[in-house]
Structure 1
Amino acid sequence: MARVDFAFGAPDRLRMACTVAQRHYAAGRALVVYSRDAQTLARIDRLLWSFEPVAFLPHVAAGDPLAASTPVWLADEVPATPPSGDALPAWLINLDADCPPGIQAYERVLEIVSDDPDDRQAARTRWRAYQAAGHELHAHDVSGRA
């Protein structure tokens, strides 16, 4: 079973996903950023190009011919075979409203949750689904208010 971490209270889910991706890329960990929503993937794609003036995170769509040599994949389906990092197992960042299917190949799943009431409610539903499936769950307050 995967470990699932919920980061609650994110001021901006996509910007936080970029920050997490940057940290893990620097550490040599490959990532899959998952959402079935094409607009969300397009927005995260633009942000990964520009969220910091001096930082570029190599990323492609999971089905791109360059995916095998690129550490960050944007996916509307969870790849059964995760990208490979330098030495660390790949993680999955879920930006979808539902639990991603087929996470067995991933050591960890990161759920980034904003303060938006609809986002929090969807996260609660995902928490219960992960819990029922037997995943190891952890909650983290990233709001900076504590």
Structure 2
Amino acid sequence: MARVDFAFGAPDRLRMACEVVAKHHDKGRRLVVYCSDAVLLERFDLMLWGFEPTAFIPHVDAGDPLAAQTPILLSGKAVTPPEGSSPSPWLVNLDARCPPGAEQYERVLEIVSQDEESVLAARRRWREYKDAGHELHAHDVSNRA
């Protein structure tokens, strides 16, 4: 089972997700970003290109021919973790539901906004992860600038 880290209280969920992806990319980690909402995933894709003027985060759709050579993959459906990478890839979930295949990843990152709808959806995911036997951790990020 995976370790699942919930970051609760994000002032801007997508912005924080960009920062998390950038941080892990800088450390050489491969990530898969999952979201079944195509509009939200496209918005996140665009944000990755310009959330910081000097940031360059190479990313493609998981179905792209360059996916094997690209460290950050975006997908709206289940993706098996890319093999042969060290350290092993992690999954960032931007969906309102638990991502399919989460148990295949060493770690799942969940970023939760401050609004009530996001918190309620995160609580449902927490229970689902717990029932599946994942190791859960909560972090308060509401004071981060």
Q: Percent identity?
A: 63
> Deviation string for 1:59-102 (max 9, x for gaps)?
000000010000000100121233654x2111100000000111
Q: How many residues align?
A: 144
Amino acid at match of 1:59: H
Aligned to 1:116: 115
| Structure 1 Cα separation of the partners of residues 84 and 55 of structure 2 | 21
Secondary structure of the residue that 2:57 maps to in structure 1?
A: coil
Secondary structure of the residue that 1:129 maps to in structure 2?
A: helix
Structure 1 residue runs of 4+, over 6 Å off? none
Alignment of 1:26-37 (within 5 A): 26-37=26-37
Structure 1's unaligned 5+ residue stretches are: none
| Structure 2 Cα separation of the partners of residues 83 and 144 of structure 1 | 36
Aligned to 1:88: 87
Alignment of 1:40-119 (within 5 A): 40-82=40-82, 85=85, 87-119=86-118
The 3 A distance-change label for structure 1 pair 91 and 136 is same
Give the alignment's TM-score, normalised by structure 2: 0.95
Q: Is the 8 A contact 1:32 1:83 kept in 2?
A: no
The 3 A distance-change label for structure 1 pair 36 and 61 is same
Structure 2's unaligned 5+ residue stretches are: none
| Structure 1 Cα separation of the partners of residues 80 and 88 of structure 2 | 13
Q: CA RMSD in A?
A: 1.2
Amino acid at match of 1:41: L
| Structure 2 Cα separation of the partners of residues 2 and 128 of structure 1 | 14
